[in-house]
């Protein structure tokens, strides 16, 4: 907020221009619904292909690491067999280390994959697809510029 007050002349001068540019882009996007339908369908197809390829890649990755995971689980289970008082601390450390390796194998990039999946689902399920989501973003930005203009006019005026 202090930056707006500091650069008051800049914002008073350029905010109406930014506002006009965004209004033109927004009206072209709304008015170009003939093109947006094609873009929406095309982007939806691309995102669905991306989702399918990510899912296939993860399935192949799981299949490829299945043997390694099986071996790691056998090693993990074998660590429990001969625990004694003498080797308890060492065995617990080995169990912990092996369990971390197994967990890393199982949850490799789960957060990133889920974030990509949710982002692509949002874009596909939004009315108009990615094009509609972009138009919504432009509309939100336009509202922010309008609020900024009202705010500046009350300060300057």
The predicted model scores a pTM of: 0.44
Q: Which DSSP symbol is given to 157?
A: -
**The pLDDT value given to residue 93:** 92
Distance between start and end Cα atoms, the chain: 18
Instruction: Answer with the residue of higher pLDDT: 116 or 49.
Output: 49
Residues of the chain with pLDDT > 70, as a percent, come to 68
pLDDT digit string (tens) for 59-69? 776 677 777 88
**The pLDDT value given to residue 39:** 66
Delimit the domains of the chain by residue range.
Answer: 2-156
Q: Within 13 Å, how many C-alpha atoms sit on residue 82's CB side?
A: 2
Residues contacting residue 122 through CB under 8 Å, at least 6 positions apart: 133
DSSP assignment of 55-81 equals: HHHHHHHHHHHHHHHHHHHHHHHHTTT
**The pLDDT value given to residue 157:** 59
CB 64 within 8 A of CB 101: no
Q: Within 13 Å, how many C-alpha atoms sit on residue 9's CB side?
A: 0
pLDDT of residue 96 exceeding 80, the answer is yes
Residues contacting residue 43 through CB under 8 Å, at least 6 positions apart: 123, 129, 130, 131
Instruction: Answer with the residue of higher pLDDT: 1 or 99.
Output: 99
Residues of the chain with pLDDT > 90, as a percent, come to 4
Q: Which residue has the tokens 């707006």?
A: 4
pLDDT of residue 75 exceeding 70, the answer is yes
CB 13 within 8 A of CB 148: no
Please tell me the distance from the alpha carbon of residue 38 to that of residue 127, in angstroms, as a whole number.
13
Q: Within 13 Å, how many C-alpha atoms sit on residue 68's CB side?
A: 12
pLDDT digit string (tens) for 28-61? 777 665 556 666 677 667 767 876 786 777 677 6
């Amino acid at each position: 907020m202090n930056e707006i007050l500091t650069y008051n002349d800049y914002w008073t001068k350029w905010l109406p221009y930014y506002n006009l540019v965004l209004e033109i882009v927004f009206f072209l996007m709304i008015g170009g619904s003939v093109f947006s339908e094609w873009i929406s369908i095309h982007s939806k197809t691309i995102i669905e292909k991306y989702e399918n390829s990510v899912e296939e890649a993860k399935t192949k990755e799981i299949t490829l690491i299945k043997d390694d995971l099986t071996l790691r689980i056998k090693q993990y289970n074998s660590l429990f067999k001969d625990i004694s008082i003498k080797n308890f601390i060492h065995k617990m450390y080995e169990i912990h280390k092996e369990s971390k390796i197994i967990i890393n194998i199982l949850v490799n990039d789960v957060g990133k994959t889920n974030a990509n999946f949710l982002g692509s689902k949002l874009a596909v399920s939004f009315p108009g697809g990615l094009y509609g989501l972009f138009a919504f973003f432009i509309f939100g930005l336009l509202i922010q510029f309008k609020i900024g203009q009202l705010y500046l006019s009350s300060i300057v005026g």
